[in-house]
């Protein structure tokens, strides 16, 4: 198999990268870690004429935290670094867990959280937890900078809200409130390193013994990661019990839109959503009680 040639550019500034994307136009791709991009090229899913690497741009690999503000994960920050970061483990354990459960060690030491999001796979491991925690993306392009809620980013499998020549520079996650808890759970029908067959991210905040705020997302069970508004409605202003968690899990199963593919069939995914959401709600609720 003969692969087409491409031009590789490694700019040292963001404005240079944006200018290159604008100049080269069609069939130009941004590369952070390359773990998705290069595989797609190898399998001839894409045929890049130009690749713009972000690796040499200073500062994009930072993972920074400001107390009272939140967490910022740069575009080239590695999955493995996020999974091992002490502050992320302490304050954002769901995000560390999602990064640490992405693929295998080799991928985590090359791939990035932002790249995993920009690949826009419905099964992206890092999306549900970040969505549940109300993350936003910092984006730069020919028209300047903008901030986009992650919830508005995914348009379909492989499609995002990025405009031509735009680059995601980082993902920002707000500081968790007192009395809040978040978790990420996933499973694969074919082993740990395979893409998730179903996953969920849950974040909630308690007011007294009752759930005051709640965001539930599931992955790999629709064309994009899906929010579960009807499931959330069951739980808001309620004191969580195991019976209520079971009911919520069953509702989430009804709200999901799974398909059958090589990783799992529709019926398996639907049943597993009920299990994962039930477990995640109970786990997030326990974390919230412990964080008061």
Say whether both 35 and 106 belong to one domain.
no
Tell me, what's the pLDDT at 15? 98
Tell me, what's the pLDDT at 259? 86
Residue 1 lies in a domain: no
Adjacent-strand bridge partners of 173 = 71
Tell me, what's the pLDDT at 190? 56
Tokens encoding 187: 């499973």
60, 33 Cβ separation under 8 angstroms: no
67, 86 Cβ separation under 8 angstroms: no
Say whether both 70 and 138 belong to one domain.
yes
Say whether both 185 and 151 belong to one domain.
no
CB half-sphere exposure, 111, CA atoms < 13 A: 26
Domain count, the chain: 3
Tell me, what's the pLDDT at 268? 93
Say whether both 81 and 39 belong to one domain.
no
CATH classification of the domain holding 91: 3.30.465.10
Q: Which of 215, 207, 202 is nearest to 282 (CA)?
A: 202
pLDDT, tens digit only, all 292 positions of the chain:
567 789 999 999 999 999 999 999 999 999 999 998 988 888 888 999 999 999 999 999 999 999 999 999 999 999 999 999 999 999 999 999 999 999 889 999 999 999 999 999 999 999 999 999 999 999 999 999 999 999 999 999 999 999 999 999 999 999 999 999 999 999 986 555 567 899 999 999 999 999 999 999 999 999 999 999 999 999 999 999 999 999 999 999 999 999 888 778 999 999 999 999 999 999 999 999 999 8
Domain range for 36 is 7-53
Residue 93 lies in a domain: yes
Say whether both 75 and 103 belong to one domain.
yes
What's 112's DSSP letter? B
**pTM score, whole prediction:** 0.95
Q: Which of 175, 173, 174, 168 is nearest to 138 (CA)?
A: 168
Residue with tokens 């198999």: 1
Tell me, what's the pLDDT at 292? 81
Tell me, what's the pLDDT at 188? 80
Report the 10 Å Cβ neighbour count for 61. Answer: 17
At a CB cut-off of 8 Å and minimum separation 6, what does 150 contact? 117, 127, 130, 131, 134, 135, 136, 137, 171
Alpha-carbon distance 25 to 228, whole Å?
37
Tell me, what's the pLDDT at 43? 83
């Amino acid at each position: 198999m003969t692969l087409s040639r491409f031009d590789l550019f490694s700019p040292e500034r963001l404005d240079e990268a944006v200018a290159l994307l604008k100049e080269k136009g069609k069939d130009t791709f941004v590369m952070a870690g390359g773990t998705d991009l290069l595989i797609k090229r190898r399998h001839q899913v894409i045929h890049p004429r130009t690749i713009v690497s972000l690796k040499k741009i200073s500062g994009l690999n930072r993972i920074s935290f400001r107390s009272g503000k939140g967490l910022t994960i740069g575009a080239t920050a590695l999955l493995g670094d996020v999974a091992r970061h002490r502050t992320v483990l302490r304050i954002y354990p769901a995000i560390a867990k999602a990064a640490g459960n992405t693929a295998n060690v080799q991928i985590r030491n090359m791939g990035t959280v932002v790249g995993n999001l920009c690949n826009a796979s419905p099964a992206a491991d890092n999306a549900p937890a970040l969505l549940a925690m109300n993350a936003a993306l910092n984006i730069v392009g020919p028209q300047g900078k903008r901030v986009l809620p992650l919830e508005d980013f995914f348009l379909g499998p492989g499609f995002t809200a990025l405009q031509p020549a735009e680059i995601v520079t980082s993902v920002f996650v707000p500081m968790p409130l007192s009395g809040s808890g978040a978790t990420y759970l996933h499973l694969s029908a074919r082993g740990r390193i395979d893409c998730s067959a179903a996953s969920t991210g849950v974040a909630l905040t308690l007011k007294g013994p009752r759930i005051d705020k709640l965001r539930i997302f599931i992955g790999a069970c629709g064309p994009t990661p899906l929010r579960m508004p009807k499931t959330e409605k069951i739980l808001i202003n309620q004191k969580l019990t195991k019976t209520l968690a079971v009911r919520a899990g069953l509702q989430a199963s009804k709200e999901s839109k799974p398909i059958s593919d090589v990783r799992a069939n529709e019926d398996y995914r639907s049943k597993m959503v009920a299990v994962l959401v039930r477990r995640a709600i109970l786990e997030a609720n326990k974390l919230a009680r412990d964080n008061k």
